[in-house]
Amino acid sequence: MSSAATTSLNETTDVQPRSRRGATARAVEELHRRIAQNFYRVGDKLPSEPVLAKELGVSRVTVRAALTQLENEGLVDRRHGSGTYVNSVMPLSASLHLNVGADSLIRSRGLTPGVSEMSWRQTRADEVVASKLGLDIGTAVIHLYRVRTADGIPVTIEHDYFADSLIPTHPPNIGPSLYAFLSQTCGVEATHGVASLEPALVGEEDAAVFGVRSDDLCLVIRQVDYDAAGHPVSYSVERHLASAFDFRLLRQGPGIPQGMPSTDR
């Protein structure tokens, strides 16, 4: 750990005057800086609250509030009886109104995307998959399984399904990008998707893949992609490790349904 990590918040070269911001905001900013500049590296245990309070020139209450905010952002993991540690993966910010691939999202944060596991098999559509793809139950579909990584660390588990009839030749040569495969090999363009979101526990099976506890949180995104004519192209179930992502939703407006009075302040 660099000695520069002991920079005090009293130094005016790094922070704005105290009168302009609260102590907690200043403490959070300094801790952000230290993590971003690798003064605290992945897996490092942070100094104790008393030590941080002395280094940052703030109270222990302020340090505790700052660490709580970092925990909520997914930057650190506070373990009871052990201490506070830098998370293995910095959160990846994703705006949920944009249908971007995981690779693009990971690369946008300066990290290297990868796929640690990938397999596919022909199977039969169950009731859920059939209803999502507009197929009869039992229709042949391709099930694509991938584990995506950021700098070698698993962050997303994906299950994708699409009709076997879309594939012109067998066996298919499916690469890391399903959209590219559907477009270049199958001649099918996915133009938009409709998704549902659900918070969930990682569970025992996926915990072994992610290398986390089974009671850690993940965000499950179930999405159907459609072509320009509105026909379903693929159905995906994505499990994103909550500590690795910071999903945000753009809400435009305010919009008022026609005929309804506004109750805005």
Tens digit of pLDDT for each residue in 36-55?
777 888 889 999 999 999 99
SS3 state of residue 78: strand
Look at residue 177 in the predicted model and tell me its pLDDT.
84
* Tokens found for residue 230: 């509105």
Q: Phi and psi at residue 258, in whole multiples of 5°?
A: -60, 130
Q: Where is mean pLDDT largest: 17-21, 24-28, 113-117, 127-131?
A: 127-131
pLDDT at residue 144 is higher than 50: yes
pLDDT in tens, 74-124: 778 888 888 999 876 556 555 555 566 677 777 766 778 899 999 999 999
Mean pLDDT, rounded, for 230-235: 93
Q: Is the pLDDT of residue 259 over 90?
A: no
Q: Which residue has the tokens 């650190």?
A: 76
Output phi, psi for 206, to 5 deg: -75, -25
* pLDDT mean across residues, the chain: 82
State the chain's maximal CA–CA distance in angstroms: 68
Neighbours of 45 (CB within 10 A): 13
Quick one: pLDDT band at residue 221, thresholds 50, 70, 90?
very high
**Amino acid in the structure at residue 80:** H
Dist. CA 116–CA 62, nearest whole Å:
40
